[in-house]
Amino acid sequence: MIKIAVVGASGRMGQTIIEAIQQNNQVTLGVTLNQGDELALVVDQFDVLIDFTRPVATLGYLAICAKAGKKMVIGTTGFSEEELTQLENFALKTPIVFAPNMSVGVSLTLKLLDMAAKVIGAEADIEIVEAHHRHKVDAPSGTALKMGEVVANALGRDLSTCAVYGRAGIEEPRDRQTIGFSTIRGGDVVGEHTVSFFMEGERVEITHKASSRMTFANGAVRAAIWLDGVSAEQGLYSMKNVLDL
């Protein structure tokens, strides 16, 4: 039985992950921790750590897991480029599944976006709109950025140079080479993402809507089960690897 540790256990996502673990007969809850608890004292009580907290906390947990030879599933978003580099360096020491969205449906959506971008992206104006609950602190969402990255890569573009985050103050026609992002925050929206390809005379939209955090929690548990079977002592993986897409 795979023993899983959950950090941020008292939060909304943490509670949902605990519920998902309890509903899965392939795993068991090894330990739960909240902010301020000392992970290093309980590393012998779990095989895989699931973390949906904040970047600074995640990197701290990674340092402990890498030293103890423990694997991690990371759903944390909002990393800076420097923090992502640190995460990649930790993956040289211990296996990690890192995904801004653990949903199986989102993973499929990313595959569809790659296909759509390759077929129609060069002739389209591309806009990404995402909506989340009022408590979400990073914007655009990690999922929206991942969608933009997939589309940009399919078109041979660099998202860091072609992304447009809001159009206030831009007084010129839209550049077709750009990828636009719009963010909505309000109420209790779990997560909604739409990528629109605007062409002359028609529009293609690919949308994913999450109505429950359980979809992310189940995906994270699925990733932990997959990761437990990885024999390598290092590696940075995504849900694409987990789902064999």
> DSSP letters along 3-69, please?
EEEEESTTSHHHHHHHHHHHT-TTEEEEEEE-TT--GGGGGGG-SEEEE-S-HHHHHHHHHHHHHHT
How far is CA 96 from its chain centroid? 13
Residue 100: which pLDDT band, with cuts at 50, 70 and 90? confident
Quick one: CATH architecture of 2-98+213-242? Answer: 3-Layer(aba) Sandwich (3.40)
**Mean pLDDT score, 91-112:** 93
Residue 203 · residue 223 · CB < 8 Å:
no
Residue 160: which pLDDT band, with cuts at 50, 70 and 90? very high
In SS3 terms, 123-163 reads as HCEEEEEEEECCCCCCCCCHHHHHHHHHHHHHCCCCHHHHE
- Specify the pLDDT at position 37: 81
**Mean pLDDT score, 174-179:** 96
For residue 36, pLDDT beyond 80: no
Looking up tokens 């890498």 gives 66
Closest CA to 225 of 45, 75, 8, 21: 21
- Specify the pLDDT at position 44: 95
Catalytic residue list contains 132: yes
Residue boundaries of the structural domains of the chain? 2-98+213-242, 104-210
Across the chain, what does the average pLDDT equal? Answer: 95
Choose the catalytic residue: 70, 71, 132, 208: 132
For residue 222, pLDDT beyond 80: yes
**Mean pLDDT score, 203-215:** 96
**pTM of the complete model beyond 0.85:** no
Closest CA to 214 of 25, 19, 75: 19
**Mean pLDDT score, 147-156:** 98
Q: Does domain 104-210 have CATH number 3.30.360.10?
A: yes
For residue 233, pLDDT beyond 90: no
Choose the catalytic residue: 3, 93, 111, 136: 136
Distances (CA, A) of 61 to 8, 28, 56, 180: 11, 20, 9, 34
Closest CA to 46 of 28, 64, 58: 28
